[in-house]
């Protein structure tokens, strides 16, 4: 029997909607060989994506097709544009390795036994999809759509607690904000969540949608795209011209289908000096958050726009989750994979860069380039390095977004750390800022709270006195003290602090 569905799938596997075929046509013929194995391969394709961050390649599909038709590697190569050596020696071993991991249950998956393991996948997953299908009237069970580049999750470290907590939150809240500094892993965490939900039965979602906002689209364009991404249950007339009417249609779609809508790089919508556009977006998200619907918005952002920030502080619908760096074990795994094996030195790097994956990768790249991978030599010439991405974020924060009060708070913290290597108590920080700026205590408290939420300052409670104390992570302290673009102090050209790092 020639399994044509496998060759057809190579045109579909790179498209996330390929997985929407799960749960379809699960009637009495679901256990026929062709349909059952087709659906099993869809599941396998998604499992491969979760494991390495990309779907089965064209060559891998050719090998699977040949194996299911009992063809030898020579015959597979003959009917392709690839050499026998490439198929048999390069692609096939890697394919069987990953299939063994995800569907082997401790056994080796190979060309001869592929049928058997796919049948096990069918029994384990597809019956559950059939049951799930009966509980839903939606014919497009779990539609996945991507607009914009989804992060590569082939190398994903730690975050088990955050993933578990997020899965709880998306079933309880209409809006969740993942907030953290550049490179900390907000988008990667959201992408991993989408990937895992896509193959978990009974998630409760009909649509999983990824929309990148890095290009800051106009509001009407964004609404129009989102409406197109969520198919209606019934035919609708043409879209209205007016923005508020378009928002009403979008909310109707979010009411009729339960969608998990990831809006990546959310902060891009509220940057710049176009206050009219920012106001429009503020009103738009107020409606999405406050009006009743069964969907969930997941926002990834370096900062919280004021409107969303106010709603969170008022304990309204948005749920705020600050994303910190990787834990020690996960960060250590990352560094080992980058080629660093000295655990003591790795621990120092993790502490310095607070487990930020982007910063750790950037410093390892520089260690390899300038110190030939010798961490000992690097630590004999200590310095704190800042990646281009992190510095760009700080340039934007200090150049456009932080108030004078917030800047002064960070300057005071940096000065105190450099001069005394200590954290600063709230009382002392309050006095230091009051000496330089004429502002109220409430304004200083509000500024500190926002800096905390944006992960720009660190706060601790003294275990004995319970007094709150503040500090800066080394990378941010380095930026504040060196002020490379003159954005921290502005026209106040006070002498920069001498620092060793």
Can you tell me the distance from the alpha carbon of 422 to that of 413, in angstroms, rounded to the nearest whole number?
A: 9
Please give the residue range of the domain that contains residue 218.
143-322
Domain assignment of residue 224, yes or no? yes
* Cα dihedral value 134, 138, 142, 146, nearest 10: 170
Q: Residue 55 in 3-state DSSP?
A: coil
Can you tell me the distance from the alpha carbon of 53 to that of 136, in angstroms, rounded to the nearest whole number?
A: 29
User: 152 and 280 in one domain?
Assistant: yes
User: 411 and 445 in one domain?
Assistant: yes
User: 355 and 449 in one domain?
Assistant: no
Whole-angstrom CA distances from 455 to 129, 164, 318 are: 41, 22, 18
Can you tell me the distance from the alpha carbon of 166 to that of 405, in angstroms, rounded to the nearest whole number?
A: 33
Can you tell me the distance from the alpha carbon of 65 to that of 82, in angstroms, rounded to the nearest whole number?
A: 15
Can you tell me the distance from the alpha carbon of 189 to that of 323, in angstroms, rounded to the nearest whole number?
A: 9
Higher per-residue pLDDT: 387 or 382 = 387
Residue 33 and residue 69 in contact, taking contact as beta carbons nearer than 8 Å: no
pLDDT of residue 494: 45
Band (pLDDT 50/70/90 cuts) for residue 123 is low
pLDDT in tens, 245-257: 999 999 999 998 8
Domain assignment of residue 491, yes or no? no
Q: Residue 262 in 3-state DSSP?
A: strand
Can you tell me the distance from the alpha carbon of 380 to that of 367, in angstroms, rounded to the nearest whole number?
A: 12
CA angle 234, 235, 239 (to 5 degrees): 125
Report H helices in 69-156.
Answer: 73-78, 84-85, 92-103, 114-121, 127-134
User: What b-and-e string marks burial along 426-453, b requiring 16 or more CB atoms within 10 Å of the CB?
Assistant: eeebbebbeeeeebeeeebebbbebbeb
Counting Cα atoms < 13 Å in the Cβ hemisphere of 467 gives 10
Contacts of residues 15-18 at CB distance under 8 Å and 24 or more positions apart, as own/partner, are 16/144, 16/145, 16/146, 16/198, 17/143, 17/144, 17/145, 18/42, 18/45, 18/55
User: 302 and 165 in one domain?
Assistant: yes
Distance from CA of residue 191 to its chain's centroid? 5
| Adjacent-strand bridge partners of 470 | 424, 459
Of all residues in the chain, what percent carry a pLDDT higher than 90? 36
User: 355 and 393 in one domain?
Assistant: no
Can you tell me the distance from the alpha carbon of 65 to that of 92, in angstroms, rounded to the nearest whole number?
A: 12
Q: Residue 109 in 3-state DSSP?
A: coil
Residue 65 and residue 73 in contact, taking contact as beta carbons nearer than 8 Å: no
Domain assignment of residue 73, yes or no? yes
User: 253 and 184 in one domain?
Assistant: yes
Band (pLDDT 50/70/90 cuts) for residue 158 is very high
User: 415 and 305 in one domain?
Assistant: no
User: 291 and 202 in one domain?
Assistant: yes
pLDDT in tens, 265-293: 998 888 776 777 888 888 898 899 888 99
Average pLDDT for 50-59: 79
User: 257 and 271 in one domain?
Assistant: yes
pLDDT in tens, 190-226: 999 988 888 776 678 888 899 999 888 889 999 988 9
Residue 355 zone, left/alpha/beta (φ > 0; ψ -120 to 50; rest):
left
Domain boundary among 336, 362, 382: 382
Terminus-to-terminus CA distance in the chain, angstroms? 68
Band (pLDDT 50/70/90 cuts) for residue 125 is low
User: 147 and 249 in one domain?
Assistant: yes
Domain assignment of residue 497, yes or no? no
Average pLDDT for 412-417: 91
Provide the mean pLDDT of the chain: 81
Neighbours of 84 (CB within 10 A): 15
CATH number at residue 410: 1.10.10.10
User: 101 and 51 in one domain?
Assistant: yes
Band (pLDDT 50/70/90 cuts) for residue 119 is confident
Average pLDDT for 420-428: 87
Domain assignment of residue 182, yes or no? yes
Domain boundary among 134, 152, 171: 134
Lowest-confidence segment of 278-282, 319-323, 381-385, 497-501 by average pLDDT: 497-501
pLDDT in tens, 447-482: 999 899 888 999 988 888 888 999 999 999 999 999
Residues 6+ apart with CB under 8 A from 76: 62, 63, 65, 66, 87
Domain assignment of residue 283, yes or no? yes
Strand blocks (E) in 104-236: 143-147, 175-179, 207-212
Domain assignment of residue 9, yes or no? yes
Beta strand 175-179 pairing with 296-301? parallel
SS3 percent helix, strand, coil of the chain, rounded to 5, is: 55, 10, 35
Higher per-residue pLDDT: 303 or 235 = 303
pLDDT of residue 317: 65
Can you tell me the distance from the alpha carbon of 167 to that of 165, in angstroms, rounded to the nearest whole number?
A: 5
Domain count, the chain: 4
Band (pLDDT 50/70/90 cuts) for residue 117 is confident
Neighbours of 264 (CB within 10 A): 24
Domain assignment of residue 266, yes or no? yes
Strands of the sheet containing 143-147, edge to edge, are 143-147, 207-212, 259-264, 296-301, 175-179, 319-322
Phi first, then psi: what are they for 126, rounded to 5°? -75, -30
User: 263 and 184 in one domain?
Assistant: yes
DSSP 320: E
Can you tell me the distance from the alpha carbon of 50 to that of 192, in angstroms, rounded to the nearest whole number?
A: 7
Can you tell me the distance from the alpha carbon of 371 to that of 244, in angstroms, rounded to the nearest whole number?
A: 58
């Amino acid at each position: 029997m020639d399994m044509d569905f496998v060759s057809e799938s190579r045109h579909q596997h790179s498209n996330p909607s390929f997985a929407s075929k799960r749960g379809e046509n699960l009637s009495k013929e679901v256990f026929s060989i062709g349909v059952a194995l087709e659906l099993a391969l869809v599941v396998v394709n998604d499992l491969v994506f979760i494991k390495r961050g990309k779907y089965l390649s064209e060559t891998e599909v050719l090998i699977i097709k040949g194996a299911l038709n009992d063809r030898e590697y020579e015959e597979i190569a003959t009917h392709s544009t690839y050499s026998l050596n490439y198929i048999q020696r390069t692609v096939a071993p890697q394919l069987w390795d990953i299939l063994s991991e995800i569907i082997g249950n401790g056994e080796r998956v190979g060309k001869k036994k592929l049928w058997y393991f796919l049948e096990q996948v069918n029994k384990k997953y597809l019956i559950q999809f059939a049951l799930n299908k009966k509980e839903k009237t939606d014919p497009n069970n779990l539609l996945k759509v991507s607009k914009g580049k989804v992060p590569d999750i082939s190398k994903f470290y730690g975050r088990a607690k955050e993933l578990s907590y997020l899965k709880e939150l998306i079933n309880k809240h209409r809006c969740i904000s993942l907030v953290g500094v550049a490179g900390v892993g907000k988008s990667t965490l959201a992408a991993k969540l989408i990937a895992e939900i896509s193959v978990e039965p009974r998630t409760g979602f009909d649509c999983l949608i990824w929309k990148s906002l890095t290009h800051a689209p106009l509001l009407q364009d964004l609404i129009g795209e989102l409406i197109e991404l969520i198919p209606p249950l019934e035919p609708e007339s043409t879209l209205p011209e007016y923005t508020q009417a378009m928002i009403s249609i979008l909310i109707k779609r979010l009411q009729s289908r339960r969608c998990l809508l990831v809006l990546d790089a959310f902060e891009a919508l509220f940057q710049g000096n176009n206050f009219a556009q920012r106001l429009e977006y503020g009103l738009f998200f107020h409606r999405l958050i406050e009006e009743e619907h069964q969907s969930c918005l997941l926002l990834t952002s370096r900062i919280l726009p004021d409107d969303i920030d106010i709603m969170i502080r008022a304990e309204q619908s948005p749920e705020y989750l600050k994303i910190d760096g990787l834990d020690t074990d996960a960060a250590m795994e990352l560094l080992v994979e980058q080629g660093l094996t000295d655990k003591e030195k790795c621990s120092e790097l993790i502490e310095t860069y607070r487990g930020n994956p982007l910063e750790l990768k950037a410093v390892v790249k520089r260690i390899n380039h300038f110190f030939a991978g010798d961490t000992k030599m690097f630590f004999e010439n200590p310095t704190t390095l800042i990646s281009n991405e992190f510095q760009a974020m700080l340039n934007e924060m200090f150049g456009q977004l932080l108030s004078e009060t917030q800047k002064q708070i960070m300057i005071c913290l940096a000065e105190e750390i450099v001069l005394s290597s200590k954290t600063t108590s709230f009382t002392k920080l309050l006095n230091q800022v009051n000496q330089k700026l004429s502002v109220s205590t409430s304004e200083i408290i509000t500024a500190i709270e926002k800096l905390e939420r944006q992960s720009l300052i660190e706060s601790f409670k003294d275990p004995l006195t319970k007094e709150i104390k503040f500090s800066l992570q080394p990378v941010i302290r380095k930026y504040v003290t060196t002020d490379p673009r003159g954005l921290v102090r502005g026209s106040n050209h006070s002498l920069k602090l001498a620092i060793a790092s």
